[in-house]
Structure 1
Amino acid sequence: MGRPYSVRAALRAFLAESLAATRPRATLAQRRAFHEYFVTHLPSSSLSPDRQPSAHRLPRNESQPHSGPSSRAAQIAQSQQASRDTTIVRIPIKSAKHHFGAGVSRGSRPYNEDTYQAGTIEMPSFAKRQPMSLNRRPGSEMSGEAAKSELGDPQVFYFGVFDGHGGGECSEFLQERLHGYVEEAALLFGLESSLQKGGAANANALDSEGGIMGEQDPEDLQKSLVSSWRETVGGYFKRFKPEYFPAVTNHSGPEPPETLNNSSIETVLTYAFLKADLDFTAAQASKRTEQTSTSSSMDDPVLSDKPLNENDLLFHPDRPASQNLRHKPQRPSSSPDLSAPIGGSKRFQGGSTASVALISTPTPVPFWHPASPSTLMVAHVGDTRVLLCRTSDGKSVSMTTNHHPDAPVEATRLRRYASTFTTDSFGEERMGGLANTRSFGDVSSKRVGVSAEPQITKADIGPGEYAFAVLMSDGISAVLSDQEIVDIVKEARTPAQAANDLTGFAVEVAESADNATALVVRLGGWERRSEGGGGSFGTKEQRDYRKSEAENPRARRQ
């Protein structure tokens, strides 16, 4: 581990705490943080139609017939003016069953360790700018037009699925706080809007003061975070060079993509994931386990002979785990309760996977509109999955890859650090008892390379190119194939019904049902989801057979 804290790290922590205490937090207070609803425009007539003035203001005996074309034209103009009168409303995403659906089942487990999140996040747009020559259907912008955010850009939607293992402490932490880390990272790095010229959104976000932590350069933020991992954990992280940290990674061979810079959306997401995992890991290492905290355990002759630092997962002879956290780490302002201990009062040795999808549009038209393009950004850790359904042929398109030891990229990355790779009775490779090589938490496996560095995938979606997106835990993806999942969603009328049907079918056909969570997000081609590839008939026979086999358990024994 080296020295407990270097002079540079101590000075950096002191300056951060001093600036946080003296500098006003008006910038964060004025920002509209993460919300579980989206803001949109609706015609005023749809809010309270009974309050509209009657067309016949005079008694019937005093009314007069039409006086000619002029009065008809005036009536049409008046009706068009009324239709343009709109009102801003807030619609909860989790209640908008025609746009979003969530299905949750604990399966055959005694409790559910999966969590999910859905809402809008306050950050500059990263959508691909559309060419000026792109012509749209007149009036399409008025149908379900979404309001802009306070930064001046269209709203950025946030969806996430978190699959906990060993308990729900880590998945609940990600559900409540990960979106805050993303917002905080976008503010710290000065993420510039892809739609506004001159960085207008960036100027509003930074408020000419250089971020909430003081004058910090994006390169210093990257180097400081990697240095914190190296000093706190060591092991694998002594040579840690995240892919989307240009200030740390030495690119050999082809040049990095143009969008990869010190303030890109990929760098922001990587920093948010790694910073959240560092805070969670350090918080668990600073706690004592229940075994060491009770004096009765020392009366046992077997326990008393064990080394004193056996339970210090990040132990060092000169720095026990209880001293790994000298100062209170900086927390996102949108966290619900910063005073509560991360991961509970006892040391949590489990972890959680995560799949987060961010959707941004170049125009105020929402992403589910058939004429609206959008940009999808997926940050993924572990074996949760994100799928898209292509409208043209009805095929599934995977946006993620399971981070398992048998994956070629993960095997090459970890074999030099992992002590052993084993194969369990099901024929699956494991590293230190873990099936995932990337996850949040799992403190005891951090030294051998289990990190929360996300795999980031970006997709520019054209108008109506994809019908829907599905985010799910391994309780569904380990039981059903990608095409089966997509075909089940096609048969539902609404995304809410599709999510419930998907979780119900996965739990029904599984021999030992795991926790199952599914999020279905409507995209522009939802109404055409059954056109390409013969609809859902491709896997219908297979699904019917699996369902009949599940209903007759005796058939499996023959």
Structure 2
Amino acid sequence: MKHHGTPYSIRNALRTLFAEHQPIIRTVSQRRVFHEYFVTHLPSSSLAPDKQSPNHHRLPRDESSPHAGLSQRAARLAQPAPSRDTTIVRIPIKSAKHHFGAGVSRGSRPYNEDTYQAGTIEIPAFAKRQPVSVSRRSPGSRGGGEGQAAKSESGDPQVFYFGVFDGHGGSECSEFLRDRLHGYVEEAALLFGMESSLKAETMDETDSTEGGVMGEQDAEDLQKGLISDWKETVGGYFKRFKPEYFPAVTNGKSAPTPSTLPNNSVETVLTYAFLKADLEFTKSQASKHTEDQRSSLDDPVLSDRPLNDDDVLFHPDRPASQNLRARPKKGSSPDLSAPIGGSQRFKGGSTASIAMISTPSPTPFWNPASPSTLIAAHVGDTRILLCRTNDGKAYPLTTNHHPDAPIEATRLRRYAATFVTDSFGEERMGGLANTRAFGDIGSKRIGVSAEPQITRLDLLPAEFSFLVLVSDGVSGHLDDQEIVDVVKEAKTPEQGSKDVVSFATEVAESGEADNATCLVVRMGGWERRAEGGGGSIGTQEQRNFRKNEAADPRRGRR
């Protein structure tokens, strides 16, 4: 269907469109909670024996065979049975200390506003498809098709998802992102019809996945409708807002690769998911009553004032999405009376950095022989780093969204007339250190946006040793290379994450230790992390000096 004309007509068209597909969208939103585990195949001999029921852990052989897609079932049954019996297992990634580690500290603060997430999400693969090897064996021989992307029983290989969310003014927004942001990404992938990058061009129609809920024109309407909502709901900066990865809005003018960036690309999906989540969180907070309004309801004169008198973002034709609820805690029933961010208006916000990793085959990304593709989406001053295997250097994937960043200063100076420099020499905008964040409803009009900075990186096998995600409680006290070198000295990612947080808290000025969170993810070059650049000796002397200085009892008196 095609819809043209004013934003009003686009809005009406979107209402009709969502009404038609609401059952599907509702199913996507409610189909599952976050997968905090990954699925893999292990030899049955590696499992603990069960004397009472020897076959307790085993699934049928046709369900245990890896690398076989639904279209290959007949060919697989015609081949000899595999020589090694394997079993499908689910491993909680947050408990797999040799693959993942998380260190958390509230520092000197009375409470912790940081949150994090780690697991897998249900979106099509976006990994770079590997070329077919010229020495590839014939399809009928065992081990044939080395260069071809192999599908698992459930479809594409798993997409891993890691995120750090640093709240300010409270934890309501960071908890909302921890529990809901991955759902917005999955829903956007379905709506835009994101296709797998591993899909063969000659694949039969029976093997291809269904298209998205929306067609191509509908996807453009979704982009334009979301921007229209931002313009009419907030105004100010958003009246000229054109997200970089929205082809329907930019018309290829500011998109980096307009010829290769379709409406269903992973960059467009992530941009839509971030902006949609932020819009619904902002609307929900704007519709709530402040404490002053609640107390004025008892006054016979003040009670005649409109209930929305202080709601800058209120619009009578668009009530806030009070029907959107946060995910209930495990084991508890949903609280239908609790809107997003609690019952009272939340004026704070949160930064966010997520990293998604996709592989072209079921071999996990931490295998030294497995290539992969990493997508980083970033808002604020949380950071994502990689450690290069060959030279041991830190490879940052994000830049802090602060007023002194040239790209942010250029973007905001037209509307943010209150750029000031505090006593520490840091530039701030309206009292805020971050120019991009979720929430912060009082600063949306001057340009505080949740439009993500997106980085795509195709990783060669064992090119990087590990991935690190940190909040500003870590990066504010340690530079990138110090963080990487601390992790190099650890035996496991879990130990590395805790060592980074401990060191950052230790060297912080007395009483100035912020909430600190660090995630460490094992990559293909983990076993070689101490080789490149002489290991961790690059910053060892500097770190030892800082430790000794922190241990000096007279430091606080200087």
TM-score (structure 2 length as normaliser): 0.83
Q: Against the structure 1 CA distance between its residues 150 and 416, is the aligned structure 2 distance closer, same or farther, given a 3 Å change threshold?
A: farther
Q: Against the structure 1 CA distance between its residues 151 and 45, is the aligned structure 2 distance closer, same or farther, given a 3 Å change threshold?
A: closer
CA shift for structure 1 position 20:
1.9
Q: For residue 413 of structure 1, what is the aligned residue in structure 2?
A: 411
CA distance in 2, matches of 1:81, 1:91: 26
Greater mean alpha carbon deviation, residues 199-208 or residues 356-365: 199-208
| 1:244-283 matched pairs, under 5 angstroms | 244-252=245-253, 256-283=257-284
Deviations 1:322-372 (A, max 9, x none): x75266677899998584310110000000000000000011100000000
Q: Against the structure 1 CA distance between its residues 185 and 530, is the aligned structure 2 distance closer, same or farther, given a 3 Å change threshold?
A: same
The one-letter amino acid paired with 2:367 is H
Select which of 154, 162, 165 maps to 1:159: 162
Q: Is the 8 A contact 2:324 2:340 kept in 1?
A: no
Q: Against the structure 1 CA distance between its residues 404 and 215, is the aligned structure 2 distance closer, same or farther, given a 3 Å change threshold?
A: closer
CA distance in 2, matches of 1:162, 1:307: 36
For 2:482, what is the secondary structure of its paired residue? helix
CA shift for structure 1 position 85:
0.4
CA distance in 2, matches of 1:328, 1:169: 15
Query: Any unmatched runs of 5+ in structure 1?
Result: 55-79
Deviations 1:419-457 (A, max 9, x none): 210111111111111100000000010011100000000
Q: For residue 43 of structure 1, what is the aligned residue in structure 2?
A: 43
Q: For residue 133 of structure 1, what is the aligned residue in structure 2?
A: 133
CA distance in 2, matches of 1:383, 1:154: 31
Q: Is the 8 A contact 1:219 1:262 kept in 2?
A: yes
Select which of 427, 438, 441 maps to 1:440: 438
CA distance in 1, matches of 2:143, 2:347: 52
| 1:128-207 matched pairs, under 5 angstroms | 128-133=128-133, 152-198=155-201, 207=210
CA distance in 2, matches of 1:267, 1:332: 25
| 1:522 corresponds to 2:494 | no
The one-letter amino acid paired with 1:239 is R
The one-letter amino acid paired with 1:270 is T
CA shift for structure 1 position 295:
3.1
Q: Is the 8 A contact 1:399 1:457 kept in 2?
A: yes
Deviations 1:495-548 (A, max 9, x none): 001011110110111011000000000000000000011100111111111111
The one-letter amino acid paired with 2:423 is S
Greater mean alpha carbon deviation, residues 113-122 or residues 33-42: 33-42
For 1:226, what is the secondary structure of its paired residue? helix
The one-letter amino acid paired with 1:489 is V
| 1:213-292 matched pairs, under 5 angstroms | 217-252=218-253, 256-292=257-293
TM-score (structure 1 length as normaliser): 0.83
Q: Is the 8 A contact 1:124 1:202 kept in 2?
A: no
Q: Against the structure 1 CA distance between its residues 123 and 149, is the aligned structure 2 distance closer, same or farther, given a 3 Å change threshold?
A: farther
CA shift for structure 1 position 34:
3.4
Query: Any unmatched runs of 5+ in structure 2?
Result: 1-6, 55-79, 137-141
Q: For residue 312 of structure 1, what is the aligned residue in structure 2?
A: 311
CA distance in 1, matches of 2:345, 2:47: 51
Deviations 1:450-489 (A, max 9, x none): 0000000011110100000000000000100100000000
Greater mean alpha carbon deviation, residues 414-423 or residues 172-181: 414-423
For 2:454, what is the secondary structure of its paired residue? strand
CA shift for structure 1 position 223:
0.7
CA shift for structure 1 position 16:
2.3
CA distance in 2, matches of 1:432, 1:294: 28
| 1:539 corresponds to 2:548 | no
Q: Against the structure 1 CA distance between its residues 460 and 254, is the aligned structure 2 distance closer, same or farther, given a 3 Å change threshold?
A: closer
CA distance in 2, matches of 1:204, 1:165: 47
Greater mean alpha carbon deviation, residues 274-283 or residues 43-52: 43-52
The one-letter amino acid paired with 2:538 is G
CA distance in 1, matches of 2:200, 2:335: 36
For 1:470, what is the secondary structure of its paired residue? strand
CA shift for structure 1 position 196:
1.2
Q: Against the structure 1 CA distance between its residues 557 and 307, is the aligned structure 2 distance closer, same or farther, given a 3 Å change threshold?
A: farther
For 1:123, what is the secondary structure of its paired residue? coil
Deviations 1:300-327 (A, max 9, x none): x9x9999986632325xxx47xx75266
CA shift for structure 1 position 278:
0.4
For 1:248, what is the secondary structure of its paired residue? helix
Q: Against the structure 1 CA distance between its residues 508 and 501, is the aligned structure 2 distance closer, same or farther, given a 3 Å change threshold?
A: same
| 1:325 corresponds to 2:319 | yes
| 1:329-348 matched pairs, under 5 angstroms | 337=334, 339=336, 340-348=338-346
Select which of 9, 15, 24 maps to 2:11: 9
| 1:28-67 matched pairs, under 5 angstroms | 34-49=34-49
Deviations 1:33-77 (A, max 9, x none): 6300000001011113475999xxxxxxxxxxxxxxxxxxxxxxx
CA shift for structure 1 position 413:
0.4
| 1:425-504 matched pairs, under 5 angstroms | 425-504=423-502
Deviations 1:237-278 (A, max 9, x none): 111100000100144489725431111110000000000000
The one-letter amino acid paired with 2:311 is D
CA distance in 1, matches of 2:14, 2:463: 48
CA distance in 2, matches of 1:553, 1:204: 68
Q: Is the 8 A contact 1:177 1:335 kept in 2?
A: no
CA distance in 2, matches of 1:253, 1:34: 34
Q: For residue 57 of structure 1, what is the aligned residue in structure 2?
A: none
Greater mean alpha carbon deviation, residues 548-557 or residues 104-113: 548-557
Q: Is the 8 A contact 2:468 2:518 kept in 1?
A: yes
Q: Is the 8 A contact 1:394 1:531 kept in 2?
A: yes
How many residues matched? 514
Q: For residue 61 of structure 1, what is the aligned residue in structure 2?
A: none
CA shift for structure 1 position 98:
0.2
For 1:447, what is the secondary structure of its paired residue? helix
Q: For residue 139 of structure 2, what is the aligned residue in structure 1?
A: none
| 1:288-299 matched pairs, under 5 angstroms | 288-295=289-296
Greater mean alpha carbon deviation, residues 337-346 or residues 234-243: 337-346
CA distance in 1, matches of 2:254, 2:382: 32
Deviations 1:175-209 (A, max 9, x none): 0000000000000010011101259799999756x
Select which of 380, 383, 388 maps to 1:382: 380
Q: Against the structure 1 CA distance between its residues 192 and 260, is the aligned structure 2 distance closer, same or farther, given a 3 Å change threshold?
A: same
Q: Is the 8 A contact 1:470 1:520 kept in 2?
A: yes
For 1:159, what is the secondary structure of its paired residue? strand
For 2:230, what is the secondary structure of its paired residue? helix
The one-letter amino acid paired with 2:117 is Q
Q: For residue 99 of structure 1, what is the aligned residue in structure 2?
A: 99
Q: Against the structure 1 CA distance between its residues 418 and 306, is the aligned structure 2 distance closer, same or farther, given a 3 Å change threshold?
A: farther
Q: Is the 8 A contact 1:191 1:202 kept in 2?
A: no
